[in-house]
A and B are shown apart, each in its own frame.
Chain A
Amino acid sequence: MTETEFERRLSAAIREEMPPLRAPEELRQRVRAAIHNAATPTRWKRWGPYSNQTRWLALAASLALVALGGSAGYQVAARRAGEGALADQVLASHVRSLMPGHLTDVVSSDQHTVKPWFNGKLDYSPPVADFKAQGFPLIGGRLDYVGGRPVAALVYGRRQHVINVLLWPAIAGTAGPSDRTRQGYHLLHWTAGDYTCWVVSDLGLPELQEFAGLLRADQTRSSR
C-alpha cells in the first residue's frame, strides 16, 4: 500500500471510528443565555475595570445581603440563631446561580413574557410591570432562592445601572419602605399589596426611590 493510499484509508477509518459530534442541547441553551446576557446590558460595561466574574460576585454579594434581610423579616429566630450561617448558605447559592450568564433566566422587556415565565416555577405569580416610559426598562427575570424559598427576581435597567427586584408573598401586613446602604449598594424594602419586596442597585438613592415608588404603586394597584 502506498503512503498516499494508506493516508486515504486512515482518514476514512478515523472518520468511521470518530464521527463528528453533536453539541449537547444544554450547551446550546448555555450559549444562547450567555449571548443574551452579554447583549442586554451594554450599560454594565461602565461598572469599572472588573472582570465579569467580579461583577457577578459583587451582584451576588449584594443579593445575599438582600436575602439576609428578607429572611430576617419573617425568620427572626433563625436570624438570631445563625445569620452568619444563613448568609453563607445564601451567598453560596447565589454565587453559583449568578456565575457569568445567569443574571436572567428569561430575557424580555415584555412583562407579558416575563410574568407567565414564572408559571410552574413558583407557587405565586409575581406582579411584573415595565417602566420603560419612565426610564426603567424591564430587562428580564430569573428564579432565585432567598430566605429558604424560591423567589422571583426581576431585572430592570437605568442607564448603566442594573436594578434587581426580589419579591415574594408577604406573611402579613404592610411595612416600610425602608432603605439602607451596604458596600455601595442601596437596598429598599417594603411590604405592600401582598408582597414583600426588595430592591437593590448601585443607582443613586433618589432615583432608586423614584423607581420604588412606581413599583409600589403598581403592586398596590395589581393587588386590588
Chain B
Amino acid sequence: MESSEVERFEAIVLPHLDAAYTLARYLTGNTEDAQDIVQDAALRAFKYFRGFRGTELGDGRAWLLTIVRNSVRTWRQRRHPESADTAFDEEQHSDGIAGDDPAVNLDRQETRARLGEALAQLPDEFREVIVLRDIQDLSYQVISEVIGAPEGTVMSRLHRARQRLRRMLVHGGKTGERSYDRD
C-alpha cells in the first residue's frame, strides 16, 4: 500500500481532529461516544478520500466536520429510533418572535452556569449551529457547507437558537439531565 496516501490524508485531516472532537463532544454530550464517532468519521473520510485520489478536496475541516455531523445523526437515530422519522421543521421550531422577553444578565455567574445545560437541551439542529459558530468560530460559509444548508438558513437558525437559549436562561428551571462537563 502507499504510505504517501496515508500521509497525505493525515496532513489534510488530522489537524482538524480537535474541531471534530469538539463538535462530537458537544453534540453527544459525552466523551466516549464523541471519540467513537470521530474515529468512525475519520475512517469514513479516509475511505472516501481513497476514492478521490489526487482530487483537490478543498477545506479538510469542513469536510471532516460534515462527516462527524452525519455520524452524530446516525448515532442519534440508532439511540432514539422514534425520532428518526421526525425531520427537523424550521417552522415548527421557529417559536415566533420573542419580542418582550425579560432581560437576561449574561454577566451573572448563575446565568453562565446554566448556559451549558441550556445548550444541551436544544435540538441538534440548533445546537450544531451554536457549536460551529459560537464555540468553533467558523464562518457562515463553512457552517453552510457542514450542515448542507444555505447561509441564510444558517443565520436564521442561529438567531432562533439564541432566542431559545435566551428563553431558557430567563425561565431557568427547565433543565434536563444532559450537561457538559468541561474536559
Taking CB atoms, residues of chain A closer than 8 Å to B46 are 34-35, 38-39
One of A9, A24, A26, A30 near B106 (C-beta < 8 A) = A9
Measured CA separation A14–B122 after assembly (Å):
14
Contact of B9 with A30 in the complex, beta carbons under 8 Å: no
One of B21, B159, B183 near A7 (C-beta < 8 A) = B159
Evaluate whether A14 and B130 lie within 8 angstroms (CB atoms) in the complex, with A21-B183, A34-B43, A39-B6 already known: yes
Within the complex, what minimum Cβ distance (angstroms) separates B142 from chain A? 14
Contact of B38 with A27 in the complex, beta carbons under 8 Å: yes
Q: Mark B141-163, 1 if CB is under 8 A from A, else 0.
A: 00000000000000000110010
Q: Which residues in window 25-48 of A have CB below 8 A to B?
A: 26-28, 30-32, 34-36, 38-42
Measured CA separation A19–B181 after assembly (Å):
11
Within the complex, what minimum Cβ distance (angstroms) separates A37 from chain B? 9
Asked whether B90 is an interface residue with its Cβ less than 8 Å from the other chain, the reply is no
Contact of A7 with B22 in the complex, beta carbons under 8 Å: no
One of B17, B116, B130, B136 near A27 (C-beta < 8 A) = B17
Instruction: Give A157's nearest chain B residue, CB to CB.
Output: B1
One of A21, A26, A34, A101 near B18 (C-beta < 8 A) = A21
Measured CA separation A17–B113 after assembly (Å):
8
Total cross-chain contacts (CB, 8 A): 108
Taking CB atoms, residues of chain B closer than 8 Å to A15 are 134-135, 137
Asked whether A133 is an interface residue with its Cβ less than 8 Å from the other chain, the reply is no
Measured CA separation A28–B9 after assembly (Å):
14
Asked whether A20 is an interface residue with its Cβ less than 8 Å from the other chain, the reply is yes
Asked whether A6 is an interface residue with its Cβ less than 8 Å from the other chain, the reply is yes
Asked whether A77 is an interface residue with its Cβ less than 8 Å from the other chain, the reply is no
Q: Mark B1-37, 1 if CB is under 8 A from A, else 0.
A: 1110110011000100111111001100001000100
Within the complex, what minimum Cβ distance (angstroms) separates A162 from chain B? 13
Evaluate whether A20 and B22 lie within 8 angstroms (CB atoms) in the complex, with A31-B14, A39-B46 already known: yes
Contact of B18 with A22 in the complex, beta carbons under 8 Å: yes
* Contacts from B to A (Cβ < 8 Å): 1-3, 5-6, 9-10, 14, 17-22, 25-26, 31, 35, 38-39, 42-43, 46-47, 103-104, 106, 112, 115-116, 119, 130, 133-137, 158-159, 162, 165-166, 180, 182-183
* Contacts from A to B (Cβ < 8 Å): 1, 6-7, 9-11, 13-24, 26-28, 30-32, 34-36, 38-42, 100-101
> Which 10 pairs from chain A and chain B are nearest by CB?
A23-B21, A14-B134, A23-B17, A21-B22, A31-B42, A11-B134, A13-B106, A27-B35, A20-B22, A39-B6
A7-B159, A34-B46, A35-B43 given; name 6 further pairs at CB < 8 Å: A6-B162, A13-B106, A18-B119, A23-B17, A24-B35, A35-B46
